[in-house]
Structure 1
Amino acid sequence: MRIVIVGGGIIGAALADRLARPGTAEVTLVERDRPGAGTSGASYAWLNANDPADARYHAFRVAALDAWRRVAAEFGGPDWARFAGGTEWAVAEPARDALAERVARLRDLGYPATLTTATRLRDDEPALRPPAGAVIARFPGEGHAHGSAAVGALLARARDAGAAVRSGTPATGLLVRGDRVTGVRTPAGDLAADTVVCAAGWRSPALLATAGAALPLVDPEAPGSSAPGLTAAITPGAGPVRGPVHTPGLDLRPVPGGGLLLEAADLDAATDLATPRADLDARGAELLDRARVLFPDLDARVDRVRRCVRPLPVDGRPLVGPQRPGLYTVVTHSGITLAPHLADLAAGEILGEGAEPALAPYRPDRPPPPPRRP
């Protein structure tokens, strides 16, 4: 069976790794740039199931964390996938009550979550000093990944199992015969396939349109779109953290080799595809200033500011399953968290082993969500 995967981010890499291992398929992955260089490399990459609002989707994400633990164990506990726990605090109302309520609801679902004190927090995160009066939460089962390194490791293992990886090879269209997708068109030539897997992230709608298929994603090119965001990496310095930390005005996590990755909701929301580079750099400097408030002795500089364009399904849930004969799509927000689990579930369907019940709620052709009331 010939399988062509379009997209070399974390979803495509996890699929290539999973599909190549059984030795039952000839797997080729094509990536327009360098694998892991796009959204996966710029992502904040927080491994979590921290939202209790939808119990079914929460359980799906919990299973995804278990899949990540298995992957990390297979690679011997690499520094690109760590489960050191997460921390969050809130200072003002109503955020304080909301955080305490979320912890209670997560605990009711069996998710490791607890309220703690600044003194006890130092056992887990010695460098953190939350402000007096903050409501502090710990989520000991959470972690973080370094997307580009994870992609590299997964694709190296896929290559060892026989997969072909073609970097700098954009898919310019899908080959169609009748109602069936039969391959992928690239500048280097056509690639025939029994199944094409679209894992092209936010660029998926343009590719799928060449076969008359659509995907309900938020348009990243619309002015003010919520799909683009912003992260900044800073060089190693004082004030290390062990896992993701969420504070009012700043989110941060460690990166391999030292340093921190920074993000903030307000600066994220202010970023779109039209944001000039000078504004991106200014926001990166602002993130560093906020980190210095948290760590007064921080001796660091901004290493890189990146625009992170996320594939955002309009209802926030994964889009996974067949769209045409010979065409299978795997596109989602929270791709870093979900990638190994989605690859495990989708592999059998792609190989023709039957429908996976756990994916039934997440089909690309499901009814659209009802319009929001004003």
Structure 2
Amino acid sequence: MVAHVVVIGAGVYGAAVAASLTRRGARVTVVDAGAPGGGTSGATFSWTNSCGKQPRSYHDFNVTGMEAHRRLAADVPHSDWYHETGNLEWAATDADRDELSRKVAAVLDYGYEARWLSRAEALDLEPDLDPAALPDDGIAYFPREGWVEPTRLIGHLLSTAVAAGAEVVRDDAVTDLEVAAGAVRAVRLASGRRLPVDAVVDCAGPQAARIAELAGLALPMRNTRGVLVYTSPVAVAVARVVHAPHVHLRPDGGGRLLLHTPEVDDAARVSDTGEISVDPSAVDEVVEASRALYPGIGAAPVESVRVGERPIPSDGLPVLGRVVELPNFHFAVSHSGATLSLHAGDLVAAEALGEDRGDALAPFRFERAATVR
């Protein structure tokens, strides 16, 4: 009998799990309360990296995730969602410079590619940067890092899964999980539809704890919000991820830039009706910091502002794979989903179909997370 797996969530994790499941011959239904890529995956900086991530097992896991992106981009003709153009980072204060030095030393010790650049070398890479915004030296460069365009990646993965027989159900939230005799037996949707299952994979991102609760599981999370500012097309050549002291930015296609800084994440407000808004002065702060960095941005208007909710398990590490007390229920939940989704999603899919992925997933089990409060 072909196993029927319901994947809850159609972001980068759900799409990656679905594509891997169908490649292994499973019958797959992907369900989402909204549109594919319409949640966190559609409002993320999507920086692919393993820069400063600890402990070592998590660093190595992210490096393998980066390698999975390279393989997929190389294997798919005309793939256009993966951009491995590097990341520049520098600091403004002595304390932050010391921290950056420690981070570079640590990743070099792990064999991760990094080097120090002078101002002139950085300008060779990013000639439209204002030289006055750069220090004389001490600019860290991580050449194997980059970013993904999540919705394009999701589109490829889901189309691959659908071509192999998967069904994608959108705008239909999961309302209940039927659990009996130590297993999930069916998934119920808001539309009234009932989906009998052999296995369930919780890829619901910020809503992962709610889905887990329907199965009688307590998943501790500490989600945070991130404010992302998207410019209109600008006549500025930006090719890389740039982490400057007061703004982080990267290209976002069509000449647009994506801007972010943790300094204004707290500017997001949720009304009594659930509407999310951002203080306009916070948006102006991010834009002004980017103009100081790239003067050519000029008076280009903001095209949109999005607020993403980052799904972060309590100790910051991923929660992946099967649950001991409910062995046909599986998690694929983490921060850094843009980096990890292909690799982690493949491991989780394999385990959902009975393959042994114990060694690879051991540091990221639910049982470890469930003890954290």
Question: What is the TM-score with the length of structure 1 in the denominator?
Answer: 0.92
- Structure 2 unaligned residues grouped into runs of 5+: none
User: Deviation at 1:367?
Assistant: 5.8
**SS class of match (1:239):** coil
**SS class of match (2:239):** coil
Q: Distance in 1 between matches of 2:264 and 2:14?
A: 29
Check the 8 A contact 2:219/2:370 in 1, yes or no.
no
Answer yes or no: is 1:260 the counterpart of 2:261: no
Q: Distance in 2 between matches of 1:257 and 1:29?
A: 30
User: Deviation at 1:175?
Assistant: 1.6
Question: What residue number does 1:92 align with?
Answer: 93
**SS class of match (2:367):** coil
**SS class of match (2:295):** coil
Question: What residue number does 1:8 align with?
Answer: 10
Query: Match of 1:8, as an amino acid?
Result: A
Question: What is the count of residue pairs matched by the alignment?
Answer: 363
**SS class of match (1:293):** helix
Q: 1:19-168 to 2 correspondence within 5 Å?
A: 19-22=21-24, 24-76=25-77, 78-129=79-130, 130-133=133-136, 135-168=138-171
**SS class of match (2:141):** strand
Question: What residue number does 1:313 align with?
Answer: 313
Q: Distance in 2 between matches of 1:276 and 1:213?
A: 29
Check the 8 A contact 1:90/1:134 in 2, yes or no.
no
Q: Distance in 2 between matches of 1:217 and 1:151?
A: 24
Check the 8 A contact 2:209/2:219 in 1, yes or no.
yes
In structure 2, relative to structure 1, the CA distance for the partners of 1:154 and 1:367 (3 Å cut) is closer
User: Deviation at 1:273?
Assistant: 4.1
Query: Match of 1:123, as an amino acid?
Result: D
User: Deviation at 1:260?
Assistant: 0.7
Answer yes or no: is 1:216 the counterpart of 2:220: yes
- Structure 1 unaligned residues grouped into runs of 5+: 221-226
In structure 2, relative to structure 1, the CA distance for the partners of 1:95 and 1:235 (3 Å cut) is same
Check the 8 A contact 2:6/2:199 in 1, yes or no.
yes
Question: What residue number does 1:245 align with?
Answer: 242
Q: Distance in 2 between matches of 1:32 and 1:119?
A: 49
Check the 8 A contact 2:230/2:305 in 1, yes or no.
yes
Answer yes or no: is 1:176 the counterpart of 2:179: yes
Query: Match of 1:290, as an amino acid?
Result: A
Q: Distance in 1 between matches of 2:295 and 2:371?
A: 46
Check the 8 A contact 1:182/1:326 in 2, yes or no.
no
Question: What residue number does 1:193 align with?
Answer: 197
Check the 8 A contact 1:91/1:135 in 2, yes or no.
no
Q: Distance in 2 between matches of 1:251 and 1:369?
A: 34
Q: Summarize deviations over 1:24-51 as a string: whole Å, max 9, x none.
A: 2101100111100110110000000001
**SS class of match (1:365):** helix
Q: Summarize deviations over 1:311-364 as a string: whole Å, max 9, x none.
A: 111111000122213211111111111000101212221111224311001001
**SS class of match (1:315):** coil
**SS class of match (1:126):** coil
Identity across aligned pairs (percent)?
37
Q: Distance in 2 between matches of 1:165 and 1:242?
A: 34
User: Deviation at 1:280?
Assistant: 4.2
Q: Distance in 2 between matches of 1:255 and 1:18?
A: 27
In structure 2, relative to structure 1, the CA distance for the partners of 1:369 and 1:166 (3 Å cut) is closer
Question: What residue number does 1:224 align with?
Answer: none
Q: Distance in 2 between matches of 1:351 and 1:283?
A: 47
**SS class of match (2:306):** strand
